[in-house]
Amino acid sequence: MQGIYRQRKYGSILALGIIGSFIPTAQAAGVIKEVNDNQWHYEFTPYIWATGQSGTLGVDNGPGNGQTFDQSFSDIWDRMDIGGMAAFEARYNRWGILLDGIYLRVSDHAGISAPNGFVSLSANGRVTQQQYAAAGYYRAIDGQTTLDALVGLRYNVVSWDINAQLASPLFPGLSLSRNFSERKHWLDPYAGVRVTHNFDQQWSIVGYADIGGASAGSNLTWQLLGGVNYAFSPNVIGKLGYRYVSINYRNEGFIYDVATSGFYTGVGIAW
């Protein structure tokens, strides 16, 4: 009973907590002002990604092929403890680097009781998701429309802590408590392109795509992004768009076959 419960509980908590991560908001930042390419240009972008998730999650070597789930953004938001997302871009002439980081922690509680009420099982869980991406790019096409070709690495970390308690109302002194903790991490290379078209000094649109996943257990990762940028000033750029990410990772009893999608918004500070 505890083995099955652990798998279902892990799947439930992970489904609520893993927002996948790594929005390429800096990657979505087009150059929408006249600049001198013979010097360094920087942009820092804090952002929010309102994601929903669906797919299959599994932990441990329990029965079945993982727990199927479908969570909306409101489901995830209600259980979030803390979260932070930011991106950074630096460019000199046609060469540049992109950095992106995400940190999320969610908590949840669940409980079940036997039909006769003699025993009850409850669990408190906390899941932490981290993802960090770094890429270098070359601007193959420059002008009103730009095209950047990039290669990079994406580091994923998922950890969880669960406290399960078995108790009986008839025998208050007889209770069992157990803690479960585990951490999974993997590193994926990826390659992609970013296309930006500038309509004028304020408005631009961006399209982004990448594909990767060659590490042990990582079958395939890919993502698509489309967005609109608006320059409130030469140094403040508002961003809005939609992004879809698919990750299929299976290794050592851990299954993460998840599609993550939703609207993002952020503000880039350029200098």
pLDDT digits (tens, 9 = 90+) for 204-259: 999 999 999 877 667 788 989 999 999 999 999 999 999 998 888 888 777 888 88
Euclidean distance between CA atoms 116 and 68, whole angstroms: 29
75, 104 Cβ separation under 8 angstroms:
no
pLDDT digits (tens, 9 = 90+) for 46-85: 998 887 888 887 665 554 566 777 877 777 777 767 778 8
Q: Who's near 214: CB < 8 A, 6+ residues apart?
A: 188, 189
| DSSP-assigned letters across all residues of 14-30 | HHHH-------TTTT--
pLDDT digits (tens, 9 = 90+) for 82-114: 778 899 999 999 999 999 988 877 776 555 555
Query: How many residues does this entry show for the chain?
Result: 271
Comparing CA positions, the residue from 64, 105, 55, 65 lying closest to residue 85 is 105
Provide the pLDDT for residue 208: 96
Q: Who's near 138: CB < 8 A, 6+ residues apart?
A: 94, 95, 148, 149, 150
> What b/e string do you get for 87-107 counting C-beta neighbours within 10 Å, with b at 16 or more?
bbbebeeeebbbbbbbbbbbb
pLDDT digits (tens, 9 = 90+) for 154-180: 998 878 777 766 666 665 666 667 776
| DSSP-assigned letters across all residues of 92-119 | ETTEEEEEEEEEEEEEEEEEEE-TTSS-
For 12, the enclosing helix (H) or strand (E) is: helix 2-17
Euclidean distance between CA atoms 269 and 271, whole angstroms: 7
| Predicted model pTM | 0.74
